[in-house]
Amino acid sequence: MFSKVKILSTKVLGILILIIGFSNLSNAEPNAANGEKIFKANCTSCHVLGGQLIGPNLIGVKDRWKGREAKLISFVKNSQSVINGGDGYAKNLYEKFNKTVMTSQNLKDDEVKDVLEYVHTGGGGAATASKPAEGASYEKVQSSQDTTWLLILIGGLVLGCAYLLRRMLPKRDKNEVFKHNSITEKINQIMLPVFMFLWIVLILFELAFHTKYIRGEAASDIGIQIDEMFESTAWVTLIVFVGCQLMLFYFAFIYKSKEGNKALHYSHNDRLEFIWTSIPAVVLAGLVLFGFKTWTKATDNPDNHPVVIECYAYQFAWEFRYPGPDGRLGKTNFLLIDMEKNPFGLDFTDPAAQDDYTTKELYMPVNKDVYLKIRSRDVLHAAYFPHFRAQIYASPGMDNRIRFKPIYTTKTYRDRIGNSGFNFELACNQLCGASHFNMRRVVTVVKDNEFAIWQKQFKSVYSTLNPTPAPTQAATSASQTKSDIKKTLN
């Protein structure tokens, strides 16, 4: 029987190898239809034919790389290797498009040629091809016939192996009476306490040596409260978990099976059910209320003259907008977005927008409430400040808000942890596309006077686009009313 299984497995393996080999035969000539499938499955998050998205317009790309097709193919497969190799044109592209790293493509040379054939003419030379479903990968838009046969073969192989395994298993008599094995039971009885001891030792080891790698000291007022909430929840769950496990091991050790003894069937006890339902309900309600109080503080409109900053997410970077001397962020309108001149969509009919300035750096003053307005231009992103214990989604069409007060400057925090190279950071905590890894920004926390000096170097977007000076805005006075501040935040 085993010899037959071996022969069958060899035949099936040979058939699979032949199918995979024939399906990967390269085309003698570039196939624009195949290139369209690959392009739509892998490239549309950064490129659009006939226009500029994250990357350049690809129409006419073969002419721009004329005589260097091998270099172009290498650039598509791994752009950084070509740039680091000193190619001047590749370096200029990298600089022109904000040093955005193009995702390396795991494609064969013939597949890259197919894509280039398709995009070179703007898709006009491509044969009609079925449009892949949204989110489909390249493998899903290959020949449906090849995929079907491959799935049939794999399914048949799995069923065949299952059938042979079932035939090899010994048959059991349905009327066979279960017999106790005292030796096996004694081994299990001894091993359970041993396992429990090792389990506790390993937990203590993790707590002693690896806790420092989980999270550092919180660097904001909200962060301190969230850490307290986390620790409270951890202690409650730890006590319950360890208690339940100790009881489990204890009962398994004490109440081993014995010849002639039968377990007691205990159907229910209303009082016991009420107790073990009420206690977790009360404890969990307390934890939820603690969390709700913290969340409310992190998302409420503050009324103590906060520093208002807009964090603007897009594929694949962050930009930031600060108010000018008036202390107010002006209105925006997505219909006014201009990728080159007005990427934020500022509405300059609002006087408050005329002194706003934008930057790719995120600076915050220490010991002041920072109120962040989070927006997205395209897809769902997530603004994550790990050291401040703050996170909120950047949703297209919505202004999400979060606030916290940094309690350490970057320099102070470096001294506290003994790491001179440390930086606070903002990261996107949502998988937002092929170049998601680029969405990281350094957050610098400085003293008030340093923050004021840093702000002076920027000009408003309005003054950059219009040679005529904008109307002078009055600086925010210390007597600004609470209603004015709420108007600023909203």
- Per-residue pLDDT of 177-222, as tens digits, reads 555 556 777 777 778 888 888 888 888 888 888 877 777 889 999 9
pLDDT, tens digit (0-9, with 9 covering 90-100), for 58-117? 887 777 777 778 878 888 878 777 777 778 787 777 777 766 777 777 778 888 887 788
CA 227 to chain CA centroid, nearest Å? 22
Asked whether this chain's domains 31-136 and 307-489 adopt the same fold, the reply is no
Residue range 343-359: mean pLDDT, rounded: 88
**What pLDDT sits at residue 199?**
85
Residue range 158-176: mean pLDDT, rounded: 66
Going from the C-alpha of 378 to that of each of 44, 375, 383, the distances in angstroms are 13, 9, 14
Q: Which of 167-181, 340-354, 399-413 has the lowest mean pLDDT?
A: 167-181
**What pLDDT sits at residue 366?**
93
> Is the alpha carbon torsion for 421, 453, 483, 331 positive or negative?
negative
- Angle at alpha carbon of residue 268, lines to 262 and 274, rounded to 5°: 145
Average predicted confidence (pLDDT) for the chain: 76
In the predicted structure, residue 320 carries a pLDDT above the cut 90: yes
CB 55 within 8 A of CB 46: yes
Assign domain 31-136 to its CATH architecture: Orthogonal Bundle (1.10)
In the predicted structure, residue 353 carries a pLDDT above the cut 70: yes
Domain residue spans in the chain?
31-136, 186-256+271-299, 307-489
Q: Order of strands, edge to edge, in the sheet holding 362-365?
A: 362-365, 440-446, 424-428, 381-385, 390-394
**What pLDDT sits at residue 51?**
66
Residue range 278-289: mean pLDDT, rounded: 89
Question: Is the pLDDT higher at 318 or at 161?
Answer: 318
**What pLDDT sits at residue 29?**
72
For the record, the structure tokens of 390 come out as 């703050």
Dmax over Cα atoms in the chain, in whole Å? 100
| Residue 135 pLDDT class (50, 70, 90 cuts) | very low
pLDDT, tens digit (0-9, with 9 covering 90-100), for 42-62? 776 677 776 666 678 788 777
**What pLDDT sits at residue 98?**
65
Percent of the chain at pLDDT > 90 equals: 17
Superfamily of domain 307-489, CATH level 4: Cupredoxins -  blue copper proteins (2.60.40.420)
pLDDT, tens digit (0-9, with 9 covering 90-100), for 397-456? 888 999 999 999 999 999 998 888 899 999 998 888 888 888 889 999 999 999 999 988
Residue range 468-476: mean pLDDT, rounded: 45
In the predicted structure, residue 250 carries a pLDDT above the cut 80: yes
